[in-house]
Amino acid sequence: MTDAFARGWSGWLRADGRKGVRNIVLVIYTVQCAAHVAHAIAADEEDVQVIGFPGCYDNQYAIRLVLSLARHPNVGAVLSVGLGCEYTQPARIAEAVERSGRPADAFFIQDVGGTRSSTEKGKAAVRHLRDRVRAEVPRVPMGFADLTLGAECGGSDGTSGLVGNPVVGRLFDRVVDAGGSAICEEIVEMIGLRDIILARAADDRARAELEAAYAKAERYCRDVRQYSVSPGNFAGGLTTIEEKSMGAFAKSGSRPIQGVIKVGEAPPRPGMWVMDSVPDPHFMGFGYTNPNDTEGIMDLISGGSQVVLFVTGRGSVIGSPVAPLVKVTGNSRTYARMREDMDFDAGRVLAGELTLDACADELGTLVADVAAGVPSKPEALGHREYFVMYKHQDTPELDRGCRSAA
Amino acid sequence: MSAAFVIHPLDNVATLLGDAGDRVTLNDGREVRLAAAVAHGHKVALADIPVGAAVVKFGIPIGVATADIARGDWVHLHNVESRYDERSGGFDVVTGAAGDMRYD
């Protein structure tokens, strides 16, 4: 282990034993009708962020996703705001959050009054919650063994598979070696790689999980006639989903894959994990596997990732709520053009300026800086894009045992 | 002269590390004369690839040649198709935009 991965910093200890790198108050709206008020509550408030679900009808997948974000290690407290007509119940969310040892509050706008009175009530609530978590949540030493990192790629080009994803893969190897966890979720970007993925399985159980998840993803893509490759990928030099897949899979590194988790499920033990975000069969047939980059990043955060790496060859300006996003490009031209948004230029490896190992060390130092509180570029720019959609996934079987820290 | 990167010994394509006009140097020292200019991030054939044969990158087939490809040719949407994606073959070779969706 190199020095970069022996670093320590201060985190926030949650009741379940997990540690956060931020201590935010999350405002959660339960229908689109409450979205404006939720954003007005959070506006100009330090350490207050927003997510929400747009639908009036409730959805078990969406509730599971929202609760996993509400009880994320980076979240200290929650305010849930509804309009009053919708199926999803803000008070039930607040109760579930309180059971995790976090303070929470909830109200319906229709019970309070209108836009202004609800905004005032919400601002008073989030300020009270913020005062409490700042005063009450213990600060504890934290290091890479306490981290779960997620990695997503988007806007991939010919450099992503050459260096952008491989440097994240090298970083993941080191995080796993340091006792931490890592998650990749884009199983639809493993199409064409069945045998290569199965060869990475840690044991027979992991192999069976990977085999089932891969078969489901391949069937799903065939049924909906949609593969996770886009015009921007083509313009950047990628020709087929198979080519993109091999580049994308490089971000999983080389360590054994411990198994497959579903959206909203945290790795039950440390190591490298694959997250299945593909819909399971349901009579309504709703859900889409990979509608945009933000959706995939939300999935990774739902798995407890305290920091998420986003690899983009062509460049992107998104960020994320709950967990800071660190943007890595393997394309030095993109870095030069979008420097205000890009955190890290891995293209220097292709230029021969440093080795992949040295690059992974440097990226590890950046991740530790962000974990220690230095804002990532999208975080500093105020990007907090989120996406919670209708989808169906069978409820995960949580029979792998508890996380060791819990 | 621009550089191109070949990842695996079995590969019959290399990825360009910059825009190239008439020739590229590979990371293993070989040189390839280009049939026409190839852009950064795109691929050049390192060997003749007959129609129906696999295009190999990372040591795995990333698609099938839909036309005879000669050493030095640009390898992309116009001469390769996915073995999975049924929309493959219908994308604009420059912009990558799909041609099978109606807008009016």
The answer to the question of residue B102 being in a domain is no
The answer to the question of residue A10 being in a domain is no
By the 10 Å C-beta count (0-12 exposed, 13-18 middle, 19+ buried), A114 is classed as exposed
pLDDT at A166 over 90: yes
Q: Note the Cα B87 to chain centre separation in Å.
A: 18
CB A125 within 8 A of CB A48: no
The answer to the question of residue B45 being in a domain is yes
pLDDT at A340 over 60: yes
CB A29 within 8 A of CB A108: no
CB A69 within 8 A of CB A51: yes
The answer to the question of residue B96 being in a domain is no
The answer to the question of residue A254 being in a domain is yes
Residue A405's pLDDT band (cuts 50, 70, 90) = very low
* CB-closest option in A162, A193, A331 to B5: A162
Q: How does pLDDT run across A232-256, given as a tens digit for each residue?
A: 999 999 999 999 999 899 999 999 9
The answer to the question of residue B26 being in a domain is yes
B37 touches chain A (CB under 8 A): no
Interchain contact, B91 vs A157, CB within 8 Å: no
Residue A328's pLDDT band (cuts 50, 70, 90) = very high
Q: Are residues A104 and A218 in the same domain?
A: no
pLDDT at A113 over 90: yes
The answer to the question of residue B63 being in a domain is yes
The answer to the question of residue B52 being in a domain is yes
Spatial CA neighbour of A32 closest among A381, A390, A393, A384: A390
| Cα nearest neighbour of A156 on chain B | B41
- Which residues on B lie below 8 Å from A192 (Cβ)? 60-62, 83-84
| Cα nearest neighbour of A159 on chain B | B41
Q: Are residues A353 and A232 in the same domain?
A: yes
CA distance A300 to A342: 20
Between the two ends of chain A, the Cα-to-Cα distance in Å is 26
The answer to the question of residue A400 being in a domain is no
Residue B9 to chain A, least CA–CA distance (Å): 15
Q: Are residues A292 and A348 in the same domain?
A: yes
Interchain contact, A241 vs B84, CB within 8 Å: yes
Q: How does pLDDT run across B16-42, given as a tens digit for each residue?
A: 999 999 999 999 999 999 999 999 999
What pLDDT was estimated at residue A3?
83
pLDDT at A287 over 90: no
Specify the amino acid at residue A311. V
Q: Could you give the residue ranges of the DSSP H alpha helices within A43-114? A: 60-70, 90-99, 109-112
What pLDDT was estimated at residue B99?
86
The answer to the question of residue A6 being in a domain is no
The answer to the question of residue A359 being in a domain is yes
CB B45 within 8 A of CB B72: yes
Q: Are residues A370 and A245 in the same domain?
A: yes
Residue B41 to chain A, least CA–CA distance (Å): 4
Q: Are residues A202 and A257 in the same domain?
A: yes
Interchain contact, A225 vs B83, CB within 8 Å: no
CA distance A267 to A181: 7
pLDDT at A286 over 80: no
Interchain contact, A246 vs B62, CB within 8 Å: yes
Neighbours of A115 (CB within 10 A): 12
Residue whose tokens read 């886009």: A230
Residue B89 to chain A, least CA–CA distance (Å): 10
Specify the amino acid at residue B88. S
Q: How does pLDDT run across A27-67, given as a tens digit for each residue?
A: 999 999 999 999 999 999 999 999 999 999 999 999 999 99
Q: How much of chain B exceeds pLDDT 90, in percent?
A: 86
The answer to the question of residue A393 being in a domain is no
Q: How does pLDDT run across A190-207, given as a tens digit for each residue?
A: 999 999 999 999 999 999
Residue A400's pLDDT band (cuts 50, 70, 90) = low
CB A289 within 8 A of CB A217: yes
What pLDDT was estimated at residue A2?
60
CA distance A168 to A187: 17
Q: Are residues A129 and A186 in the same domain?
A: no
CA distance A382 to A45: 12
What pLDDT was estimated at residue B5?
95
The answer to the question of residue B31 being in a domain is yes
β-bridge pairing A181-184 and A271-276 = parallel
By the 10 Å C-beta count (0-12 exposed, 13-18 middle, 19+ buried), A396 is classed as middle
What pLDDT was estimated at residue A404?
40
Q: Are residues A220 and A359 in the same domain?
A: yes
pLDDT at A1 over 60: no
Spatial CA neighbour of A72 closest among A319, A327, A292, A321: A321
CB A142 within 8 A of CB A371: yes
Q: Are residues A360 and A293 in the same domain?
A: yes
Instruction: Give the global pTM.
Output: 0.93
**Domain total for chain B?**
1
Q: Are residues A190 and A313 in the same domain?
A: yes
Spatial CA neighbour of B13 closest among B67, B76, B66: B76
Interchain contact, B60 vs A192, CB within 8 Å: yes
CA distance A143 to A276: 27
Note down the domain range covering B35: 2-81
Query: For the domain that residue B76 is a member of, what is the CATH number?
Result: 2.30.130.110
Residue A403's pLDDT band (cuts 50, 70, 90) = very low
| Chain A / chain B CB contacts < 8 angstroms | 103
For B28-55, b/e burial (b = at least 16 CB within 10 A) is eeeebebeeebbbbbbbbbeebeeeebb
B12 touches chain A (CB under 8 A): no
Indicate the residue among A90, A118, A136 that finishes a domain: A136
B77 touches chain A (CB under 8 A): yes
The answer to the question of residue A1 being in a domain is no
CA distance A338 to A332: 10
Distances (CA, A) of A273 to A137, A163, A183, A256: 29, 21, 5, 9
Q: Are residues A40 and A175 in the same domain?
A: no
The answer to the question of residue B25 being in a domain is yes
B40 touches chain A (CB under 8 A): yes
Q: Are residues A266 and A374 in the same domain?
A: yes
At A272, give phi and psi (nearest 5°). Answer: -90, 130
DSSP type of residue A89: -
Residue B96 to chain A, least CA–CA distance (Å): 4
Q: Are residues A131 and A153 in the same domain?
A: no
Packed helices A165-177 and A241-249: angle between N→C axes, nearest 10 degrees: 30
Indicate the residue among A80, A110, A136 that finishes a domain: A136
Indicate the residue among A88, A107, A136 that finishes a domain: A136
* CB-closest option in A231, A242, A351 to B62: A242
Neighbours of A113 (CB within 10 A): 12
* CB-closest option in A222, A233, A246 to B96: A233
Interchain contact, A234 vs B77, CB within 8 Å: yes
B65 touches chain A (CB under 8 A): no
Query: For the domain that residue A85 is a member of, what is the CATH number?
Result: 3.40.50.2300
- Cα angle A255, A328, A337 (rounded to 5 degrees) comes to 160
Interchain contact, A159 vs B43, CB within 8 Å: no
pLDDT at A401 over 70: no
- Which of A234, A245, A337 is best to mutate for the B interface (most B CBs within 10 A)? A234
What pLDDT was estimated at residue A200?
97
**Domain total for chain A?**
2
pLDDT at B95 over 80: yes
Interchain contact, B40 vs A333, CB within 8 Å: yes
Interchain contact, A231 vs B61, CB within 8 Å: no
Interchain contact, A241 vs B82, CB within 8 Å: yes
Residue A289's pLDDT band (cuts 50, 70, 90) = confident
pLDDT at A402 over 80: no
Q: Could you give the residue ranges of the DSSP H alpha helices within A142-279? A: 165-177, 194-198, 204-224, 231-235, 241-249
Note down the domain range covering A297: 145-380
Interchain contact, B84 vs A350, CB within 8 Å: no
CA distance B58 to B56: 7
The answer to the question of residue A394 being in a domain is no
Q: Which one has a higher pLDDT value, A287 or B60?
A: B60
